[in-house]
């Protein structure tokens, strides 16, 4: 991975992209959008960055399309439109478009340049930083992929105007996570936000990206430090998968699931690390001001814990957690006794 990450901010960065692309003398320029970003973002992008485009490539929106079939269609589209090794792909979309588009670019003719223009809050503060590209293999998320930094990432908050509120709130959970694992001041500031809106969140996007960038630059291949980014994700992923595979359950977005996961793991941190119960309680209260409580029956909890035990990331039957010693002080590779899980759910369900 490159030792620096080329992330630029604001409308001016979008406008400068034209100069950068011209200077690089690409043989052809492709833009990848999904159904929603084609509708909401493409015209604005082309107004700000009036480049001559060889073809607009489009995919259906949604995680269920982050797969090999879509890649094959896009490789074909590139091929039919004469893409060569000196072509460039601009991924304009959320994490699905940037993950999949990045992978398509990394593999087409053994790799062409690509740029990411994240259009969801989650993709701005998370998916666009760290060079992970990839696709799902059946139900298994992100099983196939490559770590490679894009030529550039351009972050501007203007896209958030058309983003559904739930998607905005989902991305906000990753920002709260960055505060919890790395920066108490940032956590305090975010926890005081009164109303989640693009305008209110805009000033905090860059600091969140900076927190993730610091971690990723130190540990690009997830050998150690990068694990801290998984806070809330061990239980959060199990809850997310449970909701996804359960037809009677409502839709639960990634950030909504990890918001639950972070409260549960804050509780585990009291018992298996040195987090004070007052701080864990405070963490729970903050999450509950932003996220409606998810009702998890005993049956749900059993099924979620079953998924947790079968998580492929467990090593030798051990489930390792990233917990908190204090806000801003993560504790990695902590093993949690299984009898604590039921108590963690109780803590989550109880009113403050």
Ligand X SMILES: NC(=O)c1ccc[n+]([C@@H]2O[C@H](COP(=O)([O-])OP(=O)(O)OC[C@H]3O[C@@H](n4cnc5c(N)ncnc54)[C@H](O)[C@@H]3O)[C@@H](O)[C@H]2O)c1
Inter-residue contact 135 to 99 (CB < 8 Å): yes
Which of 73, 158, 202, 222 is flagged as catalytic?
222
Minimum distance of ligand X from residue 119's CB (angstroms): 4
Inter-residue contact 239 to 260 (CB < 8 Å): yes
Active site residue 66: no
Active site residue 233: yes
The tokens describing 68, both together, are 């090999």
- Closer to ligand X by Cβ: residue 162 or 349: 162
- Closer to ligand X by Cβ: residue 129 or 336: 129
Query: Applying CB under 6 A, which part among 115-123, 146-154, 260-268, 300-308 lies near ligand X?
Result: 115-123
- Look at residues 156, 126, 132 and name the one whose alpha carbon lies nearest to residue 66: 132
- Closer to ligand X by Cβ: residue 63 or 219: 63
Question: Which residue has the CB atom at the shortest distance from ligand X?
Answer: 95
Active site residue 132: yes
Calculate ∠ Cα 333-284-228, nearest 5°.
25
Query: Applying CB under 6 A, which part among 4-12, 126-134, 178-186, 234-242 lies near ligand X?
Result: 126-134
Active site residue 237: yes
Minimum distance of ligand X from residue 222's CB (angstroms): 10
Residue with tokens 């692309």: 21
Which of 44, 230, 265, 284 is flagged as catalytic?
230
Backbone angles phi, psi at 177, to 5 degrees: -60, -45
Minimum distance of ligand X from residue 134's CB (angstroms): 7
Active site residue 318: no
Residue with tokens 């196939």: 144
Which of 44, 212, 227, 284 is flagged as catalytic?
212
Alpha helix stretches (DSSP H) within the chain = 11-24, 35-40, 42-48, 68-80, 95-107, 121-122, 165-182, 184-191, 198-218, 233-245, 254-272, 277-290, 298-309, 340-349
Distance from chain centroid for Cα 293 = 22
- Look at residues 116, 113, 44 and name the one whose alpha carbon lies nearest to residue 78: 113
Which of 38, 66, 177, 237 is flagged as catalytic?
237
Which of 44, 66, 132, 284 is flagged as catalytic?
132
Helical (H) or strand (E) element with 59: strand 55-59
**Pattern 156-185, binding to ligand X, x per CB under 6 A?**
---x--xx---x------------------
Distance from chain centroid for Cα 62 = 14
Which residues 6+ apart lie within 8 Å of 188 measured at CB?
179
Does position 120 interact with ligand X (CB under 6 A)? The reply is yes
Instruction: State the Cα–Cα distance between residues 351 and 301, nearest whole angstrom.
Output: 18
Does position 282 interact with ligand X (CB under 6 A)? The reply is no
Residue with tokens 């709130």: 169
Considering only residues 81 to 100 of the shown chain, the ones binding ligand X according to CB under 6 A are: 93-97, 99
Which of 169, 233, 240, 284 is flagged as catalytic?
233
Active site residue 24: no
Minimum distance of ligand X from residue 191's CB (angstroms): 22
Inter-residue contact 138 to 144 (CB < 8 Å): no
SS3 124: helix
The tokens describing 94, both together, are 């959320």
Does position 324 interact with ligand X (CB under 6 A)? The reply is no
**Pattern 130-159, binding to ligand X, x per CB under 6 A?**
x-x--------xx----------------x
Does position 240 interact with ligand X (CB under 6 A)? The reply is no
Active site residue 320: no
Residue with tokens 């992923």: 237
Does position 236 interact with ligand X (CB under 6 A)? The reply is no
Active site residue 309: no
Considering only residues 31 to 90 of the shown chain, the ones binding ligand X according to CB under 6 A are: 34, 36-37, 40-41, 61-63, 66
Q: Which residues bind ligand X (CB under 6 A)?
A: 34, 36-37, 40-41, 61-63, 66, 93-97, 99, 119-120, 122-123, 126-127, 130, 132, 141-142, 159, 162-163, 167
Catalytic residues: 110, 132, 174, 212, 222, 226, 230, 233, 237, 254
């Amino acid at each position: 991975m490159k030792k620096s990450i080329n992330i630029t901010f604001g409308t001016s960065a979008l406008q400068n992209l034209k100069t950068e692309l011209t200077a690089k003398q690409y043989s052809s320029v492709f833009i990848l959008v999904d159904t929603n970003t084609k509708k909401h973002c493409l015209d604005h992008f082309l107004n700000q960055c009036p480049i001559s485009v060889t073809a607009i490539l489009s995919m259906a929106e949604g995680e269920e399309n982050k797969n090999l079939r879509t890649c094959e269609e896009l490789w074909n589209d590139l091929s039919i439109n004469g893409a060569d090794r000196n072509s460039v792909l601009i991924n304009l979309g959320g994490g699905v478009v940037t993950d999949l588009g990045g992978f398509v670019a990394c593999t087409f003719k053994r790799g062409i340049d690509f740029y990411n223009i994240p259009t969801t809050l989650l993709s701005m503060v998370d998916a666009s930083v760290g060079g992970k590209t990839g696709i799902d293999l059946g139900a298994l998320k992100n099983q196939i992929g490559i770590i490679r930094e894009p030529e550039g990432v351009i972050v501007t908050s203007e896209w958030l105007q058309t983003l559904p509120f739930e998607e905005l709130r989902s991305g906000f959970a990753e920002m709260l996570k960055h505060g919890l694992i790395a920066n108490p001041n940032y956590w305090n500031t975010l926890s005081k936000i009164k109303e989640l809106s693009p305008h209110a969140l805009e000033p905090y996007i860059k600091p969140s990206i900076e927190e993730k960038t610091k971690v990723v630059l130190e540990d690009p291949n997830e050998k150690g430090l990068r694990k801290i980014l998984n806070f809330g994700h061990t239980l959060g992923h199990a809850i997310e998968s449970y909701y996804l595979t359960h037809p009677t359950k409502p839709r639960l977005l990634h950030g909504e699931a990890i918001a639950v996961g972070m409260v549960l793991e804050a509780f585990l941190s009291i018992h298996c690390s040195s987090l004070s119960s007052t701080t864990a309680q405070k963490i729970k209260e903050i999450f509950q001001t932003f996220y409606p409580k998810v009702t998890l029956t005993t049956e749900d909890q059993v099924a979620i814990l079953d998924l947790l035990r079968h998580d492929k990331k467990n090593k030798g039957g051990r489930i390792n957690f990233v917990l908190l010693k204090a806000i801003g002080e993560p504790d990695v590779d902590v093993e949690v006794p299984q009898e604590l899980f039921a108590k963690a759910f109780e803590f989550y369900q109880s009113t403050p």
